[in-house]
């Protein structure tokens, strides 16, 4: 049998539970052994003609072993669930921390459904491997070898035959490991694909309905489900064949051991008690091994899932956190934001999304960036938040390259209001506290009032305790945006980024939000990404992007005075 060193390492910190599981498992086997030995002794005395009244104590002990085993099995199951729960909790936490380290760049190249499958189904599959298979490996080693040693003591030949059967039982799984891993991985891939497709269909349900594509997507999912089913059955066929061979090896090992013991008894080379002992001990010798094989097949799915989990955990982040780097303090922060000859492409070797961008946003300055869709505006935001690192040049805050600043540190300095505000399932208050987890209710109300959303919130039956629904589906776009502005007020960061914050709103909602944004921008360093020129007209400076490069810089009046420049063309096209 095989123990994955990396999976076993997960039990670090919970080895006491593993040891307890092993002890309980050995005690369970011990009850079987005592029961078998006493039964052998009773049978030999029966054949010797002794009266049954003399066996009452033996029967009582056998009954006690049966009852005690039930207690041990119950306790063993409780410990299994506890150990599995601890291991899964630890692994999920480790994986989530890794996901945060990998950042948005990882999500661009991997489907949400596949990631969810690894996080949920993969971790669940590992539970039985850790809580049942690993402890029982040690139980088998202790119990089976202990019984084998005693059988060798009774008779060497019988012990040798039993050892041969044990070797067969233990070797067969290793012969099939490559085939099982291959079929198991195929099944896992099919499962991941189906989960990803299903989540995709779920998230795009409105689109499917609108384009009358539900039936076609349903057939696609049906086909994916069928392929997954076929892979499961193939994997099951291989697993069952393996189990049959192992069961056959255990049965033959036990049968030959008993047969030889009977032959030796007939020759007078083994006592009647010895023969009965071998009869019962041969069964108990192979019992832990057959149980181990059962746990092996249950846990093998976890071993297959572990391959995917460890590939995920071994993924190198695109963004490396600096070690022992001093943070940038939020209190009393003063500094400029500098893009210095920044070139960046989302895929290496392709045309850059931003080329040789150089500009400075001084402390307290409001700078707007405009340009056609795809010009590279949102890329500036991604680089400022260090979701990605530039291939050339540097992004600096207060004179320090972001690569030398802990991400938690400079993220405290920046508030962002995106075009598409993400609200998490929960209450309005919980969504606002994302900006400041320890914020009191008075702070939340103050931020909401500044964002012109307080009156709306208190008009709801449950006020700030109102559930927003998944992705905030219970609120309009304007209401979600005002909650986003309230978040920014609550965070009170010295740098503010407005990424198309009002581009998808109607005039009424935009006017309400603009009031809040005007308050929000006061005394802050502001980067504004916008299509609507009403949003950027009052900026201290405007940067125009075209074809991923900065082509113009100046105030609104300065740029308009240049006649038919790119800025004037964009403004004319909008009007």
**Residue found by looking up tokens 């809580």 in the block:** 131
Paired with 396 in beta bridges are 338, 401
Domain parsing of the chain, residue ranges? 14-314, 337-573
d(Cα 478, Cα 508) in Å, to the nearest integer?
Answer: 9
d(Cα 75, Cα 90) in Å, to the nearest integer?
Answer: 23
- Residue 30 exposed, middle or buried by CB count within 10 Å (0-12, 13-18, 19+): middle
Taken in order 88, 93, 96, 98, is the CA torsion positive or negative?
negative
* 313 has a pLDDT exceeding 60: yes
In 267-384, alpha helices (H): 272-313, 377-384
* pTM confidence score: 0.76
SS3 for 397-438 is ECCEEHHHCCHHHHHCCEEEEECCCCCCCCEHHHHHCCCCCC
DSSP state of 48: T
Q: What is the mean pLDDT of residues 70-82?
A: 91
Residue 533: closest CA among 359, 376, 361, 368: 368
The confidence band for 180, taking pLDDT boundaries of 50, 70 and 90, is: confident
Round the average pLDDT of the chain to a whole number and report it.
82
* 23 has a pLDDT exceeding 90: yes
The secondary structure of the chain in percent helix, strand, coil, rounded to multiples of 5, reads 65, 10, 25
| 21 in Cβ contact with 76 (< 8 Å) | yes
Between the ranges 98-107, 240-249, 309-318, 496-505, where is the mean pLDDT highest?
Answer: 309-318
DSSP state of 3: -
Domain 337-573 belongs to what architecture? 3-Layer(aba) Sandwich (3.40)
The confidence band for 505, taking pLDDT boundaries of 50, 70 and 90, is: low
Domain 14-314 belongs to what architecture? Up-down Bundle (1.20)
| 291 in Cβ contact with 170 (< 8 Å) | no
| 282 in Cβ contact with 258 (< 8 Å) | yes
Between the ranges 106-115, 276-285, 395-404, where is the mean pLDDT highest?
Answer: 395-404
> What per-residue confidence (pLDDT) applies to 67?
94
């Amino acid at each position: 049998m095989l123990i994955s060193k990396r999976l076993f390492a997960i039990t670090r910190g919970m080895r006491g539970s593993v040891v307890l599981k092993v002890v309980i498992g050995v005690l369970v086997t011990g009850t079987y052994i005592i029961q078998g030995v006493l039964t052998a002794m009773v049978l030999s005395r029966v054949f010797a003609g002794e009266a049954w009244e003399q066996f009452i104590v033996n029967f009582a002990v056998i009954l006690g072993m049966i009852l005690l085993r039930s207690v041990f099995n119950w306790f063993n199951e409780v410990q299994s669930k506890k150990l599995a729960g601890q291991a899964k909790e630890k692994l999920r936490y480790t994986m989530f921390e890794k996901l945060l380290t990998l950042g948005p760049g990882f999500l661009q190249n991997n489907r949400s459904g596949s990631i969810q499958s690894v996080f949920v189904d993969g971790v669940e599959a590992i539970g039985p491997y850790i809580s049942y298979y690993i402890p029982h490996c040690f139980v088998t080693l202790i119990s089976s070898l202990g019984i084998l040693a005693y059988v060798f003591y009774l008779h060497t030949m019988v012990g040798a035959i039993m050892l041969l059967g044990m070797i067969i039982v233990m070797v067969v799984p290793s012969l099939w490991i490559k085939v099982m891993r291959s079929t198991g991985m195929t099944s896992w891939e099919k499962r991941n694909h189906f989960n990803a497709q299903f989540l995709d269909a779920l998230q795009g349900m409105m689109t499917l309905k609108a384009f009358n594509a539900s039936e076609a997507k349903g057939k696609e999912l049906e086909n994916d489900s069928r392929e997954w089913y076929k892979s499961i059955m193939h994997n099951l066929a291989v697993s069952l064949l393996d189990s049959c061979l192992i069961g056959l090896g255990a049965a033959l090992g036990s049968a030959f051991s008993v047969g030889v013991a009977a032959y030796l008894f007939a020759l007078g080379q083994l006592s009647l008690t010895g023969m009965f002992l071998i009869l019962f001990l041969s069964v108990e010798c192979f019992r832990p091994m057959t149980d181990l094989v059962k746990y092996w097949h249950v846990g093998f799915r976890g071993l297959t899932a572990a391959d995917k989990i460890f590939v995920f955990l071994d993924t190198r982040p695109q963004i490396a956190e600096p070690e022992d780097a001093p943070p940038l303090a939020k209190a009393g922060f003063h500094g400029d934001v500098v893009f210095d000859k920044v070139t960046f492409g989302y895929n290496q070797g392709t045309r850059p999304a931003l080329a040789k961008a150089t500009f400075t946003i001084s402390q307290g300055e409001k700078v707007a960036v405009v340009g056609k869709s795809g010009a590279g505006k949102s890329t500036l935001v991604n680089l400022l938040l260090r979701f990605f690192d530039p291939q050339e040049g540097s992004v600096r805050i207060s004179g320090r390259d972001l690569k030398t600043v802990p991400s938690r540190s400079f993220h405290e300095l920046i508030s962002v209001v995106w075009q598409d505000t993400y609200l998490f399932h929960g209450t309005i208050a919980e969504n606002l506290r994302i900006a400041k987890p320890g914020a009191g209710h008075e702070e939340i109300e103050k931020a909401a009032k500044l964002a012109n959303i307080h009156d709306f919130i208190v008009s709801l039956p449950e006020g700030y305790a109102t559930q927003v629904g998944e992705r905030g589906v219970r609120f309009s776009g304007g209401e979600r945006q005002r909650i986003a502005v309230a978040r920014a007020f609550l965070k009170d960061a010295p740098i503010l980024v407005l990424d198309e914050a009002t581009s998808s709103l109607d005039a009424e909602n935009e006017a309400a939000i603009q009031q809040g944004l005007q308050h929000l921008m006061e005394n802050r360093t502001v980067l504004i990404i916008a299509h609507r020129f009403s949003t950027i007209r009052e900026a201290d400076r405007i940067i125009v992007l075209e074809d991923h490069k900065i082509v113009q810089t100046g105030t609104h009046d300065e740029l308009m005075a240049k006649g038919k420049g790119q800025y004037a063309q964009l403004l004319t096209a909008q009007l």
